């Protein structure tokens, strides 16, 4: 028996990384999935992998209202309801200091990261309110909570907007038994970091595996975050197991933003003791 048996779900940005793995796990757990994204070839391969009875790929740009509405309509036409929407679609943002940020890059990042989430909620909400049930999950980031946790300050600002919009909408939709939560990933080994530095999507995705060793030291848990870590968090929030969780940001980061790392901190203490001529206790 799957944890999402009978659930009808939508995952945006499902052609690679976190979105693709979430679609796979949702289907494994009994859900039907509408997977959306802009890369048709990747989406069709996911549809074929999971089977058209379980997964319907809809080519959609999550920043375009007509595409988002068409995605929701396609889900309803095929399966008649919508139990979970995972607003996962995202992308890189301009890097560098505030004095270098191009206005067009800023606007594009806000569209990709914030407008897409707003549009998903706008068009899913009426369906779920009418049903009297549903779960909306928005993909945030630890960069929304702490400065310096992204290559782009614009990305951090956009994700902070996502996390707060999540809470605002949760207060409205919760009254209709529709839950709205966010997930804030830490260092997850996907292609998004290389994309932020300017590599094309397919090449960036191919480098994700090689990033694991570098990312293993970024948090107390001594490994890189995996797409499974976020997909399983989404699974929990999509399931009835989280039916009393609303307006919450679930941080999945191995302890990255908890504070200073223990071992480097203790090494610093010992170095000061040595400098001051104090014996270790």
d(CA 104, CA 50): 38
Selected catalytic residue, list 7, 116, 155, 239: 155
For Cα atoms 159, 160, 165, give the angle at the middle one, nearest 5 degrees: 95
Among the options 149, 159, 239, 242, which is catalytic? Answer: 159
Q: Which of 16, 93, 141, 150 is catalytic?
A: 141
Catalytic annotation present for 141: yes
Is 36 considered catalytic here? no
Give the three-class secondary structure for 164. helix
Q: Is 155 annotated in the active site? A: yes
Q: How far apart are CA 51 and CA 24, in angstroms?
A: 11
Residues 6+ apart with CB under 8 A from 269: none
> For residue 174, is it left (φ>0), alpha (ψ between -120 and 50) or beta?
alpha
Distance of alpha carbon 88 from alpha carbon 231, whole angstroms: 10
Catalytic residues: 141, 155, 159
């Amino acid at each position: 028996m799957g944890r999402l048996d009978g659930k009808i779900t939508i995952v945006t940005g499902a052609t690679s990384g976190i979105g693709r793995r979430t679609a796979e796990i949702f289907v494994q757990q009994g859900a039907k999935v509408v997977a959306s994204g802009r890369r048709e070839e990747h989406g069709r391969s996911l549809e074929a992998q999971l089977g058209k009875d379980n997964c319907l790929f809809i080519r959609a740009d999550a920043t375009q209202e007509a595409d988002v509405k068409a995605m929701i309509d396609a889900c309803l036409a095929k399966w008649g309801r919508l139990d979970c929407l995972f607003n996962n679609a995202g992308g890189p943002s301009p890097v560098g200091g505030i004095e270098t940020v191009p206005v067009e890059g800023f606007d594009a990042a806000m569209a990709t990261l914030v407008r897409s989430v707003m549009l998903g909620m706008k068009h899913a909400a009426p369906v779920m309110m009418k049903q009297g049930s549903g779960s909306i999950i928005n993909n945030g980031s630890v960069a929304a909570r702490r400065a310096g946790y992204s290559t782009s300050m614009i990305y951090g600002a956009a994700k902070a907007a996502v996390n707060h919009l999540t809470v605002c909408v949760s207060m409205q939709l919760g009254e209709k038994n529709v839950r709205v939560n966010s997930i804030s990933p830490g260092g997850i080994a996907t292609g998004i970091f290389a994309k932020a530095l300017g590599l094309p999507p397919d090449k960036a995705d191919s480098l994700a595996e090689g990033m694991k060793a570098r990312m293993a030291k970024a948090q107390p848990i001594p490994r890189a975050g995996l797409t499974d870590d976020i997909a399983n968090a989404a699974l929990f929030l999509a399931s009835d197991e989280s039916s009393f969780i609303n307006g919450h940001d679930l941080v999945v980061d191995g302890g990255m933003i908890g504070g200073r790392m223990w071992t480097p901190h203790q090494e610093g203490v010992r170095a000061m003791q040595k400098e001051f001529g104090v014996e270790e206790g």
